Structure 1
Amino acid sequence: MRLAVAYRGELYVFGGYNARLNRHFQDLWKYTPESGGWQRVDVQGKGPCARRRQCCCTVGDKILLFGGTSPSQDQDPQDEFYLMDHSDLYILDFSPSLKTLCKLSVIHHNLDQSCLPHDIRWELSAMTTNSNISRPLLSSHG
């Protein structure tokens, strides 16, 4: 099952879990009702890991994705798995500011940040720091 959110007459679907394949997804798709077609959406920046049970909503020109669960990274995919609860937030911004585009460029090209103002360095750190605060919990495949 995958979670969907509507934005400007289109439907966006991210991630999900297929129990038959025992596989979590981290892809983003857009459905356009007028054409009846699906299109994979490629985004810039670091996106969320494969997950299910996340929460999404729209705020202005942004889709916010919060939380969800995914398998712990240190396990064999064939074993009974531990689910990691996420408490992270990702934003898909359809109208990013010039400031946001510049910060993404600094991150993407691994540019020197030492000459930047303190508040910009803090924002860059917040954009790139892992925010997981929970530990894996034993769970069934459901």
Structure 2
Amino acid sequence: MSGKEVNDYLTEGMYGTRLPKEEERKKYLGTLRERIVLALTVGQVMSDKGIDKLEDAMKENKGAKLLINGHVSSRFLTEEKALANKYNIPYTIITDETNETDIGAVLAFDYAVDKEDIFVKEIQKEDESNIKDEKNNSLFSKVKKWFK
């Protein structure tokens, strides 16, 4: 027999048709990475840190759709839903009980756009820690000068 074996037909009947890049689909709320314009982590969605970037991406990509992680409480999603309604972008809440992902929301198309950088970088935390380090170093250096 060429092509599919009997076991392949049985497996497909029991578990459904196997999708290409299944692990990638589980991570990105059912879509492929090549289709994504912008992806926000659960933490960014809950704290609204990437909301400005999301709004900019929605302005530029009118034909996109918003996929939202259903494991995030709905009280944290009001800003994202309001933006989607404002720019007439359909949104879907994806709740997959068998898979967990750290992705909170994804703005994506139904076709490939191959955007290289899809994540919002958390620059604020790095800048704050650098400022704290500079303050600590300067305070430490002042105290150190007193004892010289």
Same fold (TM over 0.5): no
The structure number with the bigger radius of gyration is: 2
Q: Give the TM-score band, short-chain normalised.
A: under 0.3
Whichever structure has more strand as a proportion of its residues is 1
- Larger fraction in helix: 2
Structure with bigger RCO (C-alpha 8 Å, 6+ apart): 2
TM-score normalised to structure 1 length: 0.21
TM-score (ref. length: structure 2): 0.20
